[in-house]
C-alpha cells in the first residue's frame, strides 16, 4: 500500500491458477493482488525463466465506508465487497485484458456484517436484516428479504448457506439464541432454539494460554461459519460455539478467549484473531509444519476426565514439600526440569496424585516448547525496530508489485501512479 497509515479491515485469499488476495481498508478502497504461483519442476525451462511480477488491481470511489466483508467466486473472477454504509459492490476481473470493472449492486443503508455466495445467489446480512441477491441478467439483481418479520433491534447477526438434513438451506441468526432455516427464496421453514441447550454442560476446547478473566454470559449468536461440512461455528460475546443442527446440540464451546477480532475457517482448521499480535489455531489435526513433533506430543493437549484444564503458559507451579523441595517455573532453565527428586518407591507419596500428574504433564509441555524454539527459522520474519540500513547485495531478479497498466522497472524501482480500475 502506498499510504503507510492505511488500516486494513478485511482480507480474503483464494487459490486458482494464481493466488488472488483482496484487501479492504478503512477508507473504503479495495486492492486486489495477483500473486503468481511457483511453477512445478516438470514444466519447460523457458517458462521457469520467465518471472512474472505481482500485479495489483485497485477499486476506488465505490465504497464510502470501511470494508467489512469480502467474498470471492470460486474461479476468482468476481469479488463481492460490502462496507459499513450498507453498499455491496461487484468487481469483475478480466485477466486477459488486465482490467477490472466495479459497480454497486445493492445498498442496504446499514452496515454489512456477513456475506455468503452460492452459485448465482449472494446472501447479505446487515445489522438491520438479511437479504438474498439473485442475478437475473448481466446487470440486474433481485433482492429478497429472508423472513417476513423485521428485527426488533440492530445487531451483528450473520447468515450462511448450510446443509441442513441433506438439503442446502439458508441459516441466519436471530435474537435469543435462535436460528432461522429458510429456502433459496427466503421463506423461513423452521426456527431452531438453542436458548436452553446453550446452558447445558458441554466440552470445552482446550487452549494453551486461556484467559484468566471470569467467563462472560453470552446473550445471542453472532456470525456463522460452516465447519467440516457438518457443523456450524457461531461467535457470541467473544465466545465460540460448535453447533450440530441435525441433532440439535452444542458439540463444544470455547469460552476462555480474551477477544475475537476476526475468525477464519478452512476445512479442519479454525484461526482466531484475539488481538493485533495474538493468533490462535484450533484444529482436529496437527499443523503440517513440524507435524512430526506435534503429533508425537498431541496427547499432552487433549482433555481427559481426570484433568480437563491446561495450565496457563505464564503460571508457576510449586511442588508440595513432602513430595519434593524443588519448585518449577516456566521461566527457569531446562535444567530445572530434571531437578525434581522423586520419592522412593515404598514411600507413601510415591503413588501418583492429581497434582503430580498435572506437574509432569506441564513439564513435558515445557520440554516440547523448548524443542520448538530451537528449530531453525528465517530471521527475516522477526520484527526489528529502528531505522533500516541499506546494504549492497549482488544483482538479483526482483518481482515488484506492478499496478495494472505499468511495466516493471529493473532493480525494484517504484512504479508509476497510473491505475486502471
Q: Rounded to whole angstroms, how far apart are CA atoms 284 and 255? A: 18
pLDDT tens digits, one per residue of 365-380:
777 767 766 666 666 6
Element (H, E) at 240: strand 239-244
C-alpha cell at 259: 477477544
Whole-number pLDDT of residue 178: 93
Q: What is the mean pLDDT of the chain?
A: 76
What are the start-end ranges of the E strands in 146-202? 159-164, 167-174, 178-182, 188-193
Per-residue pLDDT band at 278 (split at 50, 70, 90): confident
Whole-number pLDDT of residue 27: 92
Whole-number pLDDT of residue 222: 92
Which residues touch 53 (CB under 8 Å, ≥6 apart)?
A: 36, 399, 400, 401, 402, 408
Per-residue pLDDT band at 387 (split at 50, 70, 90): low
pLDDT tens digits, one per residue of 31-66:
999 998 877 666 665 555 566 788 899 998 899 999
Question: Per mean pLDDT, which range of 31-35, 78-82, 94-98, 343-347 is the poorest?
Answer: 343-347
Q: Rounded to whole angstroms, how far apart are CA atoms 360 and 178? A: 44
**φ, ψ of residue 370 in degrees (nearest 5):** -65, -40
Nearest Cα residue to 70 out of 94, 102, 35, 37? 102
Report the number of distinct structural domains present in the chain.
1
Q: Rounded to whole angstroms, how far apart are CA atoms 19 and 14? A: 6
Q: Rounded to whole angstroms, how far apart are CA atoms 111 and 86? A: 5
**For the CA atoms of 192, 195, 196, 198, what is the dihedral angle to 10 degrees?**
100
Mean pLDDT score, 205-224: 84
Mean pLDDT score, 340-366: 60
Residue 187 placed within a domain? yes
**What's the start-to-end Cα distance of the chain, in Å?**
16
Q: Rounded to whole angstroms, how far apart are CA atoms 103 and 241? A: 36
What's the CATH code of the domain at 247? Answer: 2.130.10.10
Mode of pairing for the β-strands spanning 87-94 and 78-83: antiparallel
Whole-number pLDDT of residue 321: 43
Counting every residue written for the chain, the total comes to 421
Residue 191 placed within a domain? yes
Whole-number pLDDT of residue 355: 62
Residue 80 placed within a domain? no
- Comparing 204 with 344, the larger pLDDT belongs to 204
- Comparing 355 with 208, the larger pLDDT belongs to 208
Whole-number pLDDT of residue 47: 57
- Comparing 220 with 218, the larger pLDDT belongs to 220
Which is it for the CA torsion 404, 410, 412, 415, positive or negative? negative
Which residues touch 334 (CB under 8 Å, ≥6 apart)?
A: 366, 367, 370
**φ, ψ of residue 57 in degrees (nearest 5):** -110, 140
Mean pLDDT score, 57-78: 93
Element (H, E) at 250: strand 249-254
Residue showing cell 493468533: 279
pLDDT tens digits, one per residue of 294-327:
445 555 544 444 333 333 333 333 334 444 333 3
Whole-number pLDDT of residue 211: 84
Which is it for the CA torsion 240, 68, 8, 94, positive or negative? positive
pLDDT at 11 over 90: yes
Whole-number pLDDT of residue 324: 38
The CA–CA distances, whole Å, from 28 to 76, 86, 114 equal: 21, 12, 16
Q: Rounded to whole angstroms, how far apart are CA atoms 214 and 202? A: 18
Q: Backbone dihedral region of 120: left (phi > 0), alpha (psi from -120 to 50 degrees) or beta?
A: alpha
Burial status of residue 87 (CB atoms within 10 A of its CB: 0-12, 13-18, 19 or more): buried
Whole-number pLDDT of residue 404: 66
- Comparing 138 with 338, the larger pLDDT belongs to 138
Q: Each residue of 318-349: b (16+ CB within 10 Å) or e?
A: ebeeebbeeebebeeeeebbeebeeeeeeeee
Rg (CA), the chain: 26
What residues make up the domain containing 186?
A: 156-286
pLDDT at 78 over 50: yes
Residue 404 placed within a domain? no
Residue 237 placed within a domain? yes
The CA–CA distances, whole Å, from 373 to 206, 314, 376, 403 equal: 22, 16, 8, 39
Own/partner pairs, 190-198, CB within 8 angstroms, 24+ separation = 192/245, 192/248, 194/221, 194/243, 194/248, 194/250, 197/248, 197/249, 197/250, 198/241, 198/250
What percent of the chain has pLDDT above 70?
66
Mean pLDDT score, 209-233: 86
pLDDT at 356 over 70: no
Per-residue pLDDT band at 1 (split at 50, 70, 90): very low
Which is it for the CA torsion 291, 293, 296, 301, positive or negative? negative
Mean pLDDT score, 161-186: 92
- Comparing 283 with 66, the larger pLDDT belongs to 66
**φ, ψ of residue 329 in degrees (nearest 5):** -130, 155
pLDDT at 242 over 90: yes
pLDDT tens digits, one per residue of 90-130:
999 988 888 889 999 999 999 999 999 998 899 999 999 99
What percent of the chain has pLDDT above 90?
37
Amino acid at each position: 500500500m502506498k499510504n503507510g497509515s492505511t488500516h486494513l479491515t478485511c482480507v480474503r485469499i483464494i487459490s486458482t491458477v494464481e493466488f488472488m488476495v483482496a484487501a479492504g481498508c478503512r477508507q473504503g478502497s479495495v486492492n486486489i493482488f495477483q500473486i503468481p504461483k511457483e511453477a512445478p519442476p516438470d514444466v519447460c525451462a523457458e517458462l521457469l525463466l520467465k518471472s512474472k511480477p505481482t500485479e495489483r488491481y485497485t477499486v476506488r470511489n465505490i465504497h464510502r465506508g470501511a470494508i467489512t466483508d469480502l467474498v470471492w467466486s470460486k474461479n476468482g473472477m468476481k469479488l463481492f465487497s460490502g462496507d459499513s454504509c450498507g453498499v455491496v459492490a461487484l468487481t469483475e476481473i478480466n485477466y486477459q485484458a488486465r482490467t477490472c470493472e466495479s459497480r454497486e449492486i445493492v445498498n442496504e443503508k446499514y452496515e454489512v456484517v456477513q456475506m455468503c455466495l452460492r452459485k448465482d445467489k449472494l446472501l447479505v446480512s446487515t445489522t438491520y436484516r438479511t437479504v438474498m441477491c439473485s442475478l437475473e441478467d448481466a446487470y440486474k439483481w433481485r433482492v429478497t428479504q429472508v423472513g417476513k418479520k423485521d428485527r426488533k433491534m440492530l445487531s451483528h447477526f450473520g447468515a450462511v448457506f448450510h446443509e441442513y438434513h441433506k438439503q442446502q438451506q439458508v441459516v441466519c441468526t436471530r435474537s435469543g439464541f435462535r436460528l432461522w432455516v429458510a429456502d433459496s427464496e427466503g421463506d423461513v421453514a423452521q426456527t431452531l432454539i438453542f436458548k436452553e441447550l446453550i446452558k447445558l454442560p458441554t466440552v470445552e476446547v482446550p487452549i494453551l494460554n486461556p484467559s484468566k478473566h471470569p467467563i462472560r454470559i453470552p446473550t445471542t449468536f453472532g456470525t456463522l461459519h460452516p465447519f467440516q461440512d457438518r457443523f456450524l461455528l457461531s461467535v457470541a460475546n467473544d465466545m465460540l460455539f460448535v453447533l450440530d443442527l441435525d441433532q440439535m446440540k452444542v458439540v463444544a464451546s470455547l469460552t476462555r478467549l480474551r477477544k475475537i477480532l476476526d475468525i477464519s475457517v478452512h476445512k479442519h482448521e479454525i484461526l482466531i484473531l484475539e488481538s493485533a499480535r495474538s493468533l490462535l489455531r484450533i484444529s482436529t489435526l496437527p499443523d503440517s509444519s513440524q507435524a512430526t513433533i506435534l503429533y508425537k506430543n498431541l496427547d499432552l493437549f487433549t482433555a481427559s476426565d481426570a484433568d480437563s484444564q491446561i495450565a496457563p503458559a505464564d503460571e508457576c507451579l510449586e511442588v508440595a514439600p513432602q513430595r519434593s523441595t524443588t519448585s518449577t517455573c516456566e521461566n527457569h532453565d531446562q535444567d530445572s526440569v530434571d531437578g525434581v527428586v522423586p520419592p522412593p518407591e515404598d514411600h507413601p507419596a510415591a503413588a501418583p496424585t492429581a497434582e503430580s500428574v498435572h506437574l509432569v504433564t506441564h513439564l513435558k509441555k515445557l520440554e516440547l516448547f523448548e524443542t520448538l524454539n530451537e528449530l531453525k527459522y528465517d530471521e527475516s520474519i522477526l520484527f526489528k525496530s529502528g531505522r533500516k540500513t541499506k546494504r549492497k547485495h549482488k544483482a538479483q531478479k526482483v518481482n515488484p508489485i506492478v499496478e495494472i497498466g505499468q511495466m516493471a522497472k529493473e532493480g525494484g524501482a517504484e512504479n508509476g501512479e497510473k491505475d486502471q480500475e
